[in-house]
Amino acid sequence: MSEDLSGRRIAHYRIDGVLGRGGMSVTYRATDVRLGRKVALKVIGEHLAPDAEFRERFVDEARNTSAIDHANIVPLYDFDEVDGLLYIAMRLVDGQDLSGHIKEGPLTPARTLSLLAQVAEALDMLHGKGLVHLDVKPANVLVTQKEGVREHVYVADFGLTRRGATGHRTRTGDFLGSPTYAAPEHLRGEPVDGRTDQYALACMLFACLSGRPPFQGGVQEVIAGHLGNAVPSLSQVVALPPAIDEVIRKGTSKDPAQRFASCAELIAAARVALAGVAQGSAPAQLGPQSGSFPAQSPVSGPMPAQQGQYQGGGYQQPLQDPVRLRPPNQVGVSAFTSGKKERPAWFAPVIAAVVAIVVIIVVVVILSPGDEPARQPKTSSAPSLNIGDEPTSRKPLPTSVPVRTTR
């Protein structure tokens, strides 16, 4: 668990308190002391700071959010790294996330259409730029009334957003996101596009009108439902016309080609299907489960879905672990390597050891005593005779030579 930074300063932000904690980051209520405004400051978890992949995702989120300008997407104010802490400063949304509203029970058709129409507009704009959100769920839809008379929606959390991507995995093979609202192609790691987000939006339509997600149970049960089962008939869960079943069935088709052309088209079809329904009251629940459906039943197992509601501003995230769907893959590059191949972990220690050995050898050579000088030969006062290049005997020449005379 990351340390609580409340009361500290990060750059020009004074941290006032925790808004929410997630598996990847902690979001704080903070004050920009330069401008005197309140912000939501999202700081990467200290235990993940050394992890190149999570840092890459965090940087991607900042880049993706800053590149999008839309009334229904949380505005990003600032992004930087200080003392090893990566942070994103964004608008502080004073409200509650959509999962908190669903927890209170099914929403009225009018309110459902009003909120999800704003989500659809934001998603279609995103898709028009070639991006896919990949984590559309009630917990990432923030609802506030401060924008005007009607409730205003902000789509948040662009940490998984990709361009021309396949269903997202970590480099160790872990699925990132909530399987509660994930499309089949996303779960299988196949190519994804705007229709992948549309599938999640159709599941959210089901959840808003029924007070529960379409598939419940353990992780594998939920995944199996998305991969192979049709979404339950909504008209058999709550008192709504059967026409809404066809809308949700098309929006959650296992074949992306069979879905609507856009998210806005999905909501328009739902508006037509619900035209004859009393818009101001929540649909009554049917069957033996009437009144007993959990507001937002979490997925049990290692990766829970939304748990509880946002507290104090719409940034409370569940602590969650990724769901492993396939064997680990080889680790690749990160956002901080400029596309260069990342060196293995043992590289630096081996180089350091080699350098240390070389230094030791050099020191030994320098400090060791020099060779002893060659012994000088004993000299004699008598001269010696050398013939040619080779020395001869060092015997002294005689001082007198006898002379023999002949007669």
Residue 13's domain is classified under what CATH number?
Answer: 3.30.200.20
Query: In the numeric block, which tokens belong to residue 7?
Result: 């009361």
Interatomic CA distance for residues 195 and 168, integer angstroms: 15
Interatomic CA distance for residues 192 and 167, integer angstroms: 6
* Catalytic residue (one of 124, 135, 157, 245): 135
Mean pLDDT by 10 residues, the chain (407 residues): 80 92 82 94 74 74 77 89 86 90 92 96 92 90 76 83 52 64 92 94 97 93 94 93 97 97 98 83 62 37 34 43 39 32 63 85 77 52 47 50 50
**Which pLDDT score, from 0 to 100, does residue 174 have?**
54
Query: In the numeric block, which tokens belong to residue 84?
Result: 């090893």
**Where among 267, 297, 324 does a domain terminate?**
324
Number of domains in the chain: 2
Residue with tokens 């199996």: 224
Interatomic CA distance for residues 101 and 296, integer angstroms: 10
What pTM value is reported for the model? 0.68
**Which pLDDT score, from 0 to 100, does residue 2 have?**
58
In a shared domain, residues 230 and 187: yes
**Which pLDDT score, from 0 to 100, does residue 313 have?**
40
Interatomic CA distance for residues 236 and 206, integer angstroms: 12
The runs of H, that is alpha helices, within 39-108 are 52-66, 98-103
What's the CA angle centered on 262, arms 259 and 268, to 5 degrees?
95
**Which pLDDT score, from 0 to 100, does residue 199 have?**
98
**Which pLDDT score, from 0 to 100, does residue 48 have?**
65
In a shared domain, residues 88 and 115: no
How long is the chain? 407
**Where among 39, 63, 92 does a domain terminate?**
92
Instruction: Judge whether 137 is annotated as a binding position.
Output: no
Interatomic CA distance for residues 361 and 347, integer angstroms: 22
170 residue type, one letter: T
**Which pLDDT score, from 0 to 100, does residue 287 have?**
57
In a shared domain, residues 18 and 141: no
In a shared domain, residues 114 and 59: no
Greatest pairwise CA separation for the chain in angstroms: 166
Active site residue 135: yes
**Where among 279, 307, 324 does a domain terminate?**
324
**Which pLDDT score, from 0 to 100, does residue 318 have?**
42
